[in-house]
Amino acid sequence: MFYKYPLLIFIGVTAGIVVSAGIFTFITLIGVLTRLAVRTNTANRISLYEDLVVLGAGIGNMVLLFKINLPIGMVGLIMFGLFSGGFVGCLAVALEEVLQVFPVLTYRIKLKFGIPIIVLCLAIGKGLGAFYQLFFSD
C-alpha cells in the first residue's frame, strides 16, 4: 500500500518534467524569446529572459497546484492579462511564421485578398473565447 505513493509521486514528477521540457523546447525552437530580444535590442540578456520564463512557469504551476490566492487586485489582474496576452500573441505569431500556415491556406483555398481580416477575426475570436471563459465558466 505505502509503496504506491512514492511510485505515483515519481511518475507524476517525471511526467511533469518531460512535458515542461517539451514545452520549453518548443518555445525555444520557434524563437519567441530570441525574436523579442532582437526587437527590443536586448539580445545580450537572452539567458535572463529564458530563466524568467522558467521561473514564471514554475511559480505559476505552484500557484495553480496549491491553489494559492494572490492579493494582486484589479490592477494586478489587468497587468497579468496584458502580459499574458502579449506573450500568447507573440507565441502565435512566431508559430505562424515557422509553420507558414497562412501561405499554404491561401494557396489551397485560392484566397487573393482578406488575409489581414482573417488574422483579425482569429485574434478577436481568441479574445472573446478567453473573455467568455473568464467571466462565464466555472
Instruction: With cut-offs at 50, 70 and 90, classify the pLDDT of residue 42.
Output: very high
Rg of the chain over all Cα atoms, to the nearest angstrom: 19
Give the tens place of pLDDT for each residue, 59-94. 888 888 888 888 999 999 999 899 888 888 888 777
SS (H, E, C) the chain: CCCHHHHHHHHHHHHHHHHHHHHHHHHHHHCHHHHHHHHCCCHHHHHHHHHHHHHHHHHHHHHHHHCCCCCCHHHHHHHHHHHHHHHHHHHHHHHHHHHCHHHHHHHHCCCCCCHHHHHHHHHHHHHHHHHHHHHHCC
Mean pLDDT comparison of 17-21, 26-30, 42-46, 88-92, highest-scoring range: 42-46
pLDDT digits (tens, 9 = 90+) for 108-123: 888 878 878 887 888 8
Q: 46 with 33: CB under 8 angstroms?
A: yes
Residues 6+ apart with CB under 8 A from 98: 29, 30, 31
**36 and 93 Cβ atoms separated by less than 8 Å:** no
User: Residue 138: what pLDDT?
Assistant: 65
If you average pLDDT over residues 30-56, what whole number do you get?
86
